[in-house]
Chains A and B, each alone.
Chain A
Amino acid sequence: MGYTFSEKILGRKAGRKVQAGEVVTIAPDYCLSHDNSAAIIGEFKKIGVPRVKAPEKIVIVLDHIVPAADEKYAQNHKTIREFVRDQDLSHFFDIQHGVCHQVFCEAGFALPGTVIVGSDSHTTTYGAFGAFAAGIGRTEAASIWATDEIWLRVPETLRVDFRGAFQEGVYAKDAVLKLIGDQGVDRANYEAIEFGGPSAGDFSISSRMTLANMAAEMGAKNGYFLPDELTVAWVKARTLKEFEVIASDTDAVYESVLSYDLSSLEPQIACPHTVDNVKPVVEVQGRPVHQVLIGTCTNGRPEDLEIAARILKGRKIHPSTRVLILPASREAYLESLRKGTIETLSEAGCVILNPGCGPCLGAHQGLLAAGETVVSTSNRNFRGRMGHRDSEIFLASPATAAASALEGKITDPRTRS
């Protein structure tokens, strides 16, 4: 009987063979935090040790409210910068870099065969590179800073196999929305999701990140793609660090194996107010849209922005709709700028925001009023998340978002591509 990726990597860290359900205490390879580092610093100080145990493992990215939207946030950022300086933390990324999950990968921390924890639920993103990456709480981030240790329950694994190829106008976001819609938001609670099957290797790195990011929305502890040549090339271009690919055994025991045929999939949209309230776009087509958000750590990479730009090129967005472009990082922004994508989007009437999280969590930079509707490429549509509690959030692919921006109403991108 074989072992899954999660059992193998956590067993290796723990120094013994472990199975799903066991609890291990391990030293993670990295611990990520963002603007909430200010709260973590408060907990860390309660523990009463003067220095963090492993400064080289701490990665802090300021991204949630950047640049600071008011004095309170400015003070938070200042507290963090002072702590970073006092503790000699070298992996600090100030406000200009972008969303932590994108920046973390671009900076070469998301390596195959590593264990990464982060005080943000979408830490699952790094599973796209074959890392074991899970979200944790603030209190435990503080404890890791002090001890370089964390306890983790070894998760059971839900395997999701993909076969076939997408039709025109259908993307990874549609696949993951369909999966969550079918399975429910708690289907993978406390489990790992391993994405596999004959088509898994066809997903671009960007698409793999979209899928692993959204694994959190099914309750998963971590998501996982088996690293392949594409992964290795991507990672090696960004770091000289050594890494080792860890794969599930061929006779690994899975909790279940699901199978999805991508060729029969049509564009999907998650309707308010839960991520599993998913319908084909055609079923809600025609609903007026006041705002469109294209970007975030779910869909803010150059590939995503290009998909939107192809639809908007030479056209103008609908006069009753405003469009926010939120690149996932400065690297994504620069690449899109050099390719002309940003120019196309700006010419179409889109507002280009600085890379960060702002509107996705309703922090700043374009909140919704009561009665307004947004089509967003982000990952959560909980009531009130992006503004007033009586606003409505629909989650979709960049293509659906761009097509909806042109028409001023929810639109199937297959009619506009």
Chain B
Amino acid sequence: MSTGRVWKYGDDVNTDVIFPGRYTYTLMPPEEMAKHALEDLDPDFATSVRAGDVIVAGKNFGCGSSREQAAACLRAAGVRAVVAKSFARIYFRNAINLGLAVLQCDEAVEALASGDEAEIEFAAGTITSGGRIFKFFPLPESVIGIVQAGGLIEYTKNKLKGVRS
């Protein structure tokens, strides 16, 4: 279970505005990436975001470049999940594999506004806000496991340890 504030954005939020190209070829630690999260979309985001917050956006979130930092910076900023009408395919995979939950739910996107409190229950596949409950297609256990482990490399390490022990 996870509760956080909603940050609401529109359609086609591209990877350049999530994590600007001018930083992509500089190796930087996650906490440094977090300082540039959504820099070219919402300059207030990086300074005000709190752990557990939720980004809500329209269609095709994460379109454009395949840069993994566009998912890594949001996770480092403490974002619990991105709820959108749809995700660009490579962004969707990168997000899961780097430990960022990405949830598709049209109804929640229509209903939620910036500043709303939202609670996400992954196993039940629900987003609850102000007494309203929205269902998203529940991620299967294996995929939730990747997000909860903090990404695919950690998940794979844990899984292989489990197999061996």
CB contact between A47 and one of B90, B97, B139, B157 (< 8 Å): that residue: B157
In chain B, residues 142-156, which have Cβ atoms closer than 8 Å to a Cβ of chain A? 142-143, 146, 151-153, 155-156
Decide if B139 touches A137 in the complex (CB within 8 Å): no
A331: interface (CB < 8 Å): no
A72: interface (CB < 8 Å): no
**For chains A and B in complex, what number of residue pairs have CB atoms within 8 angstroms?**
72
The residues of B that contact A140 with a CB separation of less than 8 Å are 93, 97, 152
The residues of A that contact B66 with a CB separation of less than 8 Å are 121, 137
User: From DSSP, what is the main secondary structure of chain B's interface residues?
Assistant: helix
A338: interface (CB < 8 Å): no
Complex Cα–Cα for A233 and B63 (A) = 39
Complex Cα–Cα for A46 and B60 (A) = 32
A190: interface (CB < 8 Å): yes
The residues of A that contact B155 with a CB separation of less than 8 Å are 143
CB contact between B159 and one of A121, A142, A147, A151 (< 8 Å): that residue: A147
CB distance from B19 to the nearest CB of A (A): 15
Q: Nearest residue in B to A146 (C-beta to C-beta)?
A: B156
In chain B, residues 54-68, which have Cβ atoms closer than 8 Å to a Cβ of chain A? 60, 63, 66, 68
Decide if A190 touches B87 in the complex (CB within 8 Å): yes
Decide if A190 touches B92 in the complex (CB within 8 Å): yes
Complex Cα–Cα for A48 and B157 (A) = 7
Decide if B160 touches A146 in the complex (CB within 8 Å): yes
Give A114-148 as 1s and 0s: 1 = Cβ < 8 Å from B's Cβ atoms: 00000001000000000000011101101100110
Q: Nearest residue in A to B63 (C-beta to C-beta)?
A: A186
Decide if B97 touches A137 in the complex (CB within 8 Å): yes
CB contact between A151 and one of B12, B87, B90, B146 (< 8 Å): that residue: B146
Q: With A140-B152, A147-B160 in contact, do A189 and B97 touch (Cβ < 8 Å)?
A: no
In chain A, residues 39-64, which have Cβ atoms closer than 8 Å to a Cβ of chain B? 43, 46-49
In chain A, residues 5-33, which have Cβ atoms closer than 8 Å to a Cβ of chain B? 21-23, 25
B131: interface (CB < 8 Å): no
Decide if B90 touches A135 in the complex (CB within 8 Å): yes
Complex Cα–Cα for A162 and B96 (A) = 36
Decide if A49 touches B89 in the complex (CB within 8 Å): no
Give B66-99 as 1s and 0s: 1 = Cβ < 8 Å from A's Cβ atoms: 1010000000000000000011111011101110
Complex Cα–Cα for A139 and B89 (A) = 15
* Most interface-central of A49, A135, A189 (chain B CB within 10 A): A189
A358: interface (CB < 8 Å): no
Q: Nearest residue in A to B157 (C-beta to C-beta)?
A: A47
B23: interface (CB < 8 Å): no
Complex Cα–Cα for A146 and B88 (A) = 27
Decide if B89 touches A219 in the complex (CB within 8 Å): yes
Give A170-190 as 1s and 0s: 1 = Cβ < 8 Å from B's Cβ atoms: 000000000000000010011
Q: Report the count of interface residues on B (CB-CB < 8 A).
A: 30
Decide if B88 touches A186 in the complex (CB within 8 Å): yes
A221: interface (CB < 8 Å): yes
Complex Cα–Cα for A49 and B156 (A) = 10
CB contact between A143 and one of B12, B87, B137, B153 (< 8 Å): that residue: B153
Complex Cα–Cα for A46 and B142 (A) = 20
B130: interface (CB < 8 Å): no
B140: interface (CB < 8 Å): yes
The residues of A that contact B96 with a CB separation of less than 8 Å are 151
Decide if B98 touches A189 in the complex (CB within 8 Å): no
Complex Cα–Cα for A189 and B157 (A) = 31
Complex Cα–Cα for A21 and B97 (A) = 18
Decide if B156 touches A189 in the complex (CB within 8 Å): no
Complex Cα–Cα for A146 and B89 (A) = 23
Complex Cα–Cα for A143 and B97 (A) = 10
CB contact between B153 and one of A25, A43, A221 (< 8 Å): that residue: A43
The residues of B that contact A49 with a CB separation of less than 8 Å are 160
Complex Cα–Cα for A49 and B161 (A) = 10
Complex Cα–Cα for A143 and B158 (A) = 12
The residues of B that contact A151 with a CB separation of less than 8 Å are 96, 140, 142-143, 146
CB distance from A330 to the nearest CB of B (A): 29
Decide if B88 touches A189 in the complex (CB within 8 Å): yes
Complex Cα–Cα for A151 and B102 (A) = 15
CB distance from B94 to the nearest CB of A (A): 6
Decide if A190 touches B68 in the complex (CB within 8 Å): no
CB distance from A296 to the nearest CB of B (A): 19
The residues of A that contact B137 with a CB separation of less than 8 Å are 21
The residues of A that contact B86 with a CB separation of less than 8 Å are 189-190
Give B18-41 as 1s and 0s: 1 = Cβ < 8 Å from A's Cβ atoms: 000000000000000000000000
CB distance from B123 to the nearest CB of A (A): 14
Decide if A23 touches B88 in the complex (CB within 8 Å): no
In chain B, residues 96-150, which have Cβ atoms closer than 8 Å to a Cβ of chain A? 96-98, 137, 139-140, 142-143, 146
Q: 4 new A-B pairs (CB below 8 Å) besides A43-B153, A135-B90, A189-B88?
A: A25-B142, A136-B93, A137-B68, A151-B146
18 example contacts (A-B, Cβ-Cβ < 8 A) are as follows A25-B140, A43-B153, A47-B160, A49-B160, A121-B66, A136-B93, A137-B90, A137-B94, A140-B93, A142-B153, A143-B97, A146-B160, A151-B146, A186-B60, A186-B88, A190-B92, A219-B88, A221-B89
**Chain A residues within 8 Å of B, Cβ to Cβ:** 21-23, 25, 43, 46-49, 121, 135-137, 139-140, 142-143, 146-147, 151, 153, 186, 189-190, 219, 221
Q: Which 9 A-B pairs have the closest CB atoms?
A: A190-B89, A143-B156, A23-B140, A25-B142, A186-B60, A139-B97, A143-B152, A47-B156, A46-B153
